[in-house]
Amino acid sequence: MLNRVGRFFKRPKNPAGNVYYARLITSHGTLYKLGFTSKSSLVERMAYGNSEDEKLIDRQFIFTFRDDAWDVEQTLLDHFNKHRAFGKYSKDPMKPLCGRGQSELFARDILGLDDELYQPPDEETLKAWKEESEQSKDGCLMILIGLFLIPFTLGFSLFFIIGGASGILGTGKSHQTGVERACRPVHPPEIQNLINSLYYAKEAA
């Protein structure tokens, strides 16, 4: 209720404009920006005030005109509020877009439009996964052998246990570097329909 009241007082006299969604490459890594603008292009919007923020644009997914663009932007921002990279009221000068839309930055592809994240793995990646799987299995086997040998020879058993543990930890570290691909987010029907309306309007333009 309070959120609706706040939106009523913030709502511009003319809510028409463009809803945009883009991938940015920043000093804090890859971020996604969702916003509303009356400017005619995303570059013009990001370049406002001679900030040179337009240089951060890596890819534009949506830039769609709607008569209710501000309302659409607010609906989406409210829905994805907990996924904001720096918080709803963030104005940290040490972080990107301070005072220029920092609160509209997201650390993940909230709309699920960045297809590059969801591509099936190529042969090289599949081979890497298979090798890591084999390495993990070998590590588990070495640990089991080491545990079995403890009553007979502690030093030799530790060799197997440490070796097996290092093998398992090595595969985990490799996955953390980005070998695994992301899963496309699933949204409630009303949010997905809104995203589709924006995206396919962009496609038809």
CA distance linking residue 28 with residue 96, whole number of Å: 7
Ranges 49-63, 98-112, 113-127, 145-159: which has the least confidence? 145-159
Helix (H) or strand (E) holding 33: strand 29-37
> Which amino acid type is present at position 100?
R
**Which has more confidence, 84 or 134?**
84
CA dist 10 and 147 (Å) reads 66
| pTM for this predicted structure | 0.71
Task: Flag whether pLDDT at 80 surpasses 90.
Answer: yes
What is the C-alpha separation between 97 and 112, in angstroms, rounded?
Answer: 22
Query: Once rounded to an integer, what is the mean pLDDT over residues 200-205?
Result: 68
Backbone angles phi and psi of 9, in degrees to 5 = -80, -25
Decide: 132 and 107 in contact? Cβ < 8 Å: no
